[in-house]
Amino acid sequence: MKFSLPFLSLVAAALPLVAAQQCPAFPEPRPAPASLPSEATLPDPFKYFTIDRRVSSVDEWYNCRQPEIKRLLQEYQYGFYPDHSAETVTATRNGNTLTINVSAGGRNGQFTASLALPSGASPSNKVPVMLAIGGVNNGAYTNARIAVATINYMNVAPDSNGKTGTFWSLYNGKDIGVLTAWAWGVHRTLDAIEAVVPEIDATKTAVTGCSRLGKAALAAGLFDERILVTVPMSSGIQGLGPYRYWQLSGQGENLENSKQGAPWWTCNVISGFLNNHQRLPYDAHMIAAAIAPRYMVIDEGQGDPFVNARGTATIVYPAAREVYKWLGIEDRIGMAIRGGGHCDMSGHTNVVPFLQKVFFNATINRDYNNLAPWSATTTAYPWATNLPQNTAPPVTPPPITTQPTPSTTPPVVVPTPPPSGNCASKFAQCGGNGWTGPTCCVSGSTCNKLNDWYSQCV
């Protein structure tokens, strides 16, 4: 069976075209990082990339500016998402194990995913699903009548510069980050669920992951509009950590040490912004804004300074919420702050009420706009004091059924040397329940246990 989704922008297919104007053309070739202007605060999400003009309506945002942001993110951060229309996906199910086969261009690959279904789930009593990149607290979801599909992401692509696994068997030689590869694995798992898991309502789908897998969950939500709720946890830089305010927590992850420790997570082009991150034409708030009108809830722990949880909560989230509010859908983005540290399993319980509100229209008491014990750092996004004049936003955003159009001309990869030996690189995972990768760290870092599920080389 072949699954090929129409490659139309979600909103372009459902909203009227922008009247009396055309979307600005994206410059070819893309501007070099060193040629871009430097901005100390978060870039204005409403202002176009190369022309001095802001959007003037909701329609223009969805039809012009949001696709431009997605293009920017592929050009400078993720690499270009593969053309799914050229792929054939088949799936088989053996109990609660899915085997997913993908072929394209005469190449093929295979990986697996495991299912955890709530009691009583059946084809006549379908349940939503949480697509999990890595281990999660299954019970937090299944007890709330949400299935869990855990992707064997290391079989999709390794957490290294090694070009093995299903994704690279199809797309080796392209400058695409591993975060995009893992996101692609999530999407192909969703294809399989649609085909062979009748107990799941695939129109009610969420995705999550923590740390580097939280970065991947964010990419998964960005690149597939079938995903209704994106749930990045402790995602840090190259996730929802602010590039420009990385030092807010007083310590931690920045573009330089993230790219040094795991250069394969994102494409090589972003290296042009090392020690020059203020020239990035976006920041993390624009990744979140590019997912609208779909839902997002962000989990962060107060005891997690390395990934700048405070920066995500007080800068990125409120800046992204300004866009959602302008679009008339501010209740579709939430912030879930908890006690505890990096990838604490309580994070899953922390986000369940938000999911119940979305999936089941449940009434909840939790305020997902409460930033306590912190507060918004409004000086980081001064453009919010003068938002564009807006036409009346649509009451009901368009249906969530399609994927964005990927580019078909990604640049050629420039290989990065792998870390020495068989040990994990600095800032990579080195242990945890279910972990099958290396448990030693390269010279200059040690394996630090953060919780039963996650240890990291620091």
156 or 411, greater pLDDT: 156
CB 179 within 8 A of CB 108: no
- Note the residue count of the chain: 458
Q: How far apart are the first and last CA of the chain?
A: 45
More confident residue, 319 or 454: 319
Question: 16 falls in which pLDDT band (50, 70, 90)?
Answer: very low
Q: Report whether pLDDT(76) > 80.
A: yes
Q: How far apart are CA 1 and CA 195, in angstroms?
A: 9
**Cβ(185)–Cβ(224) under 8 Å?**
no
- pLDDT at residue 94, as a whole number: 98
Supply the mean pLDDT for the chain. 88
C-alpha of 319 from chain center: 17
Residue 414 has pLDDT above 90, yes or no: no
pTM for this predicted structure: 0.85
